[in-house]
Amino acid sequence: MVESLKDKVAIIGIGCTKFGELHDKSLSELMAEAAFAAYEDAGIEPERVEAAWLGTFSPGFGGGKASVTLADALRLYGKPITRVENYCATGTDAFRNACLAVAAGVYEVVLVVGAEKLRDRPVRGLQREGTHPYLEAGSTPPGLFALAANRYFHRFGGDRRTLAKVAVKNHRNGALNPKAHFRMEVTEEQVLAAPLVAYPFGLYDCCPTTDGAAAVVICRADRARQFREDPVYVKGIGLAVETGWPFFDPTFEYIGFPATVAAAAEAYRMAGIRNPAREISVAEVHDCFTWTEIANYEDLGFCKKGEGRYFIEEGRSALAGDLPVNPSGGLKSFGHPIGASGVRMLTEIVLQLRGQAGARQVKNAELGLVHNLGGPGSVACVVVLGR
Amino acid sequence: MAAGKRIIGPGDETSWVLEMIGITGHAVYLPRHRIEREKIAAAHGGKPVLEGERTAIGFDEDALTLALEAVQGLDLPACGGIYFASTTAPYLERMNAALLATACDLPEEIAVADFAHSLRAGTAALMAALDRVAVGGSEPIVVVAADVREASPESPEEQWFGDGAAAVAVGREHVVAEVKARASVSDDFLDFVRRDKDERITSFASRFTVEGYCRIVGRALARVLEESGLRPSEIARVILPPMDPKMMARVAAELGFRAEQMQETFLDRAGMLGCAMPLFLLSAALEQARPGDRILLVGYGSGADAVLFEVTPLIEGYVVRDPIAEQLRHGLRFPSYERFRKAREYFRHHDEGPVLSNVFYEKEEVRTIRLRGTECGECGLRQFPPTRICQRCHSTTGLREVSLGRQGEVFTYTVDWLAASPMPPTVLAVVDVEGGGRLYLQVTDVEPSEVHIGMRVRLTLRRLGAGGGLYHYYWKCRPEGRGDG
């Protein structure tokens, strides 16, 4: 059995840029802004960083496929930097790898940066790279998740009105968040009246493409209090990779994502969590599309398979519910710069655990969960943080 | 066989005596899209030259994809070769018939040939197939003709042409229409022409053109009737490919036939289908034929071919999977003339698809176009694309390559407005195919509102992209049940 990461690594600094259409900022500027905010929050000088992990999916022109993107942005030279790319789970997987290095005792203080700039691309939606020219022709991210949503409805019932409730909740939370891409509330009627993107998803069922960066500074848990009074500890991390082509898998049921189930099982095992619905205080989950959040409730064990619609309909995931989900506004409202999102979710949970989340603060947050889901539900990473 | 024995073939020293040679199967394919001639005429501020509507390709279709649909409609268990006839084949250098054979997942040891450059290409291919069957092996040769001809906007031909394909199998076993006599004449007469640099036909339609048609067809008919010893009145059905929608009655009379002997031409619902027309009308005649009927087929273009068939008793047990009437009944009308033109011209203006190597083609695309998957010897799971490790039981032994089914059922789907497409939305479906295996396919020729979980679909090869000097074909699916449900 794999050893547990529990209480071996602590987050001592966080930084996050404003998310949105940041037409006047480059990827380098965004990374520098997030990293220096995290240094300041940790109370360290840049030189204190011994190694760095960069999570970015598509860094664009120049330095594209290596870690030089981060080295040049931060002038962080002569140190080990690793670039991680793992679909939309890129940010949390970069964090996971950094945690493994710290837990191994190789480094004491490590920087993790997730960053993406999607709004300077010449395409609508997410520019896809590396997909098969024929076998995946015509597929889009909303289309891939819509395949699952339609099958789920066929199996368990529910419809676009169920989905709209997720959009309404996450926009309401995002409106409270000064750094969110969209700071506006929407009504169920607006959501249902919006143009269709990929049935059953309309415009408000889809997260936006966004520019943004986030960073965390982590260190060995036994040194954390040298840096601050209120470090947040890593309780468990799980990563699971399933097929990248579920649509060719005759056994794939299209009612949820086994990758999430497996990643959560690993993270819960490390953290010693037996009843996630009761033990977890707050969660940031991967709501790339409204239906995904409903599937996540089930796959993360917040409720039973097929009952996710009641979890949203009964208000259990609302800010005032018994397990608030996506208090930040989620990908839906906060925005989704691919590589940045996972790291950004970590910063939100850290704020919640420190009690610094302002208007969207969840009461008595003890244990928080971060969940990233990449590809057509292929790659999932779950992180449990606690005080 | 009721139709008796007869020597056909070279008659050389081996003196083969063949039981019978003729048509052993027939099928047509009309693209599902239609445009009313009034819509075309209105776009140009004129009146329709002919009532009704014409068939028209969608943006992802061409002569080759239509031809494949027609061949698949034959449901042949085996085949010794494919002869492909078209004046509008997608490749001018590369054997289109070889690509068809690949898509039919046929073995490599077969005969393939392209016939082109004339509206007579369909019957020219048929003549060649009859010759080959006479001297060759026992497996039938498939003759398939397809055309998607281009006429100038505002021309009468733009309205009365249609797109379509027809296929017949020619063989010696299970013959439903035996060949009794045939004749050909060559004549470099000018009616429709297209040079190497032209995208559209030039028409010489006039009264003189009709006269030429009567003279040339008359000569071929005279020869075939002479050979068979029959009089025009003894023919049940005469198939003349129309060269001008208004001339047919006159031509029949001039050649000595009564109106009721003439095969209906479907011009009001389909149009003139180029070199596919003779075989299309042959299929129509066979759908209605009774044992003993004599059918006289004419192919015309720079001369004429004439073939006399006698229908055998086997016609009564022959099942047409997707009859013409059913195909005509289930059209999808283009909302506008502009959409009709866009569908025809899309790939003429869009060549920015992926540039792929011939290594990729050989290693991957060929297997994909053949629709090969893997079957696990341990757990029996069929999977796609081909794999070395079973997706379910992870076995690495006993895996074998198999041909996957070409019909299936929608497991789930979406209607996607974000996917880049010349005609959004794109309908995508996860399809479980008959016999096992799951595919991810675009659904084409469909109203999005028709699509639902459990919908029966049939696989159809379509143009997916163009780039690097190639058209790239991949499977899509379309609703089943025009007549084959």
Confirm whether A3 is domain-assigned.
no
Mean pLDDT, chain B, whole residue set? 93
- The Cα of A93 is separated from the nearest Cα of chain B by a number of Å equal to 25
The class level of CATH for B350-371+406-479 reads mainly beta
Q: pLDDT class for B456, splitting at 50, 70, 90?
A: very high
Is A88 annotated in the active site?
A: yes
For A250, the closest of B356, B365, B437 (CB atoms) is: B437
Is there a contact between A134 and B385 if contact means CB atoms under 8 Å apart? no
Tell which of A179, A200, A226 closes a domain: A226
Q: Which residues of B touch A150 (CB under 8 A)?
A: 412-414, 453
- For the stretch B115-169, pLDDT in tens is 999 999 999 999 999 999 999 777 999 999 999 999 999 999 999 999 999 999 9
Domain(s) of CATH 2.40.50: residues in chain B = 350-371+406-479
Count of structural domains within chain A: 2
A201 and A350 share one domain = yes
CA nearest to B416 within chain A? A198
CATH number at residue A282: 3.40.47.10
Confirm whether A321 is domain-assigned.
yes
Whether the pLDDT of residue A1 is over 60: the answer is: no
A158 and A59 share one domain = no
Query: Taking residues B313-331, what's their average pLDDT?
Result: 95
Q: Which residues of B touch A123 (CB under 8 A)?
A: 420
- Find the catalytic residue in A181, A286, A336, A371: A336
Confirm whether A182 is domain-assigned.
yes
pTM score of the predicted model: 0.94
For A140, the closest of B382, B412, B416 (CB atoms) is: B416
For B368, the closest of A134, A149, A150 (CB atoms) is: A134
Q: For A194, what's the count of Cα atoms within 13 Å in the CB-facing half-sphere?
A: 23
> How far apart (Å, rounded) are the C-alpha atoms in residues A29 and A37?
12
A203 and A236 share one domain = yes
Tell which of A226, A255, A280 closes a domain: A226
**pLDDT of res. A122:** 80
Q: Which residues of B touch A160 (CB under 8 A)?
A: none
Q: DSSP secondary structure string, A161-212?
A: HHHHHHHHHHHHHHTT-TT-S------HHHHHHSPEEETTEEGGGBPPB-EE
For B414, the closest of A154, A199, A250 (CB atoms) is: A199
Q: What is the CATH number of domain B22-348?
A: 3.40.47.10
Confirm whether A130 is domain-assigned.
no
A65 and A112 share one domain = yes
A38 and A164 share one domain = no
Q: pLDDT class for A60, splitting at 50, 70, 90?
A: confident
A282 and A194 share one domain = yes
The helix or strand, by DSSP H or E, that contains position A234, with its residue range, turns out to be strand A232-241
- A16 lies in which domain range? 9-119+211-226
Please state whether beta strands B426-433 and B407-416 pair in parallel, antiparallel, or not at all (unpaired).
Answer: antiparallel
Is there a contact between B418 and A138 if contact means CB atoms under 8 Å apart? no
- The Cα of A288 is separated from the nearest Cα of chain B by a number of Å equal to 15
Q: Which residues of A touch B415 (CB under 8 A)?
A: 196, 198-199
- Owner of token pair 């030259």: B49
- The Cα of B93 is separated from the nearest Cα of chain A by a number of Å equal to 23
SS (H, E, C) B163-187: CEEEEEEEECCCCCEEEEEEEEEEC
Mean pLDDT, chain A, whole residue set? 96
Confirm whether A268 is domain-assigned.
yes
A193 and A336 share one domain = yes
Confirm whether A1 is domain-assigned.
no
Is there a contact between B472 and A142 if contact means CB atoms under 8 Å apart? no
Confirm whether A136 is domain-assigned.
no
Q: Is B472 on the interface with A (CB under 8 A)?
A: yes
Whether the pLDDT of residue B9 is over 60: the answer is: no
Confirm whether A323 is domain-assigned.
yes
Interface of B with A in 66-95 (CB under 8 A): none
> How far apart (Å, rounded) are the C-alpha atoms in residues B109 and A179?
67
Question: Do residues B447 and B330 touch, judged by C-beta distance below 8 A?
Answer: no
The helix or strand, by DSSP H or E, that contains position B246, with its residue range, turns out to be none
A198 and A298 share one domain = yes
- The interface predicted TM-score of the complex, written ipTM, equals 0.96
Whether the pLDDT of residue A320 is over 90: the answer is: yes
Is A336 annotated in the active site?
A: yes
Tell which of A226, A253, A288 closes a domain: A226
A80 and A157 share one domain = no
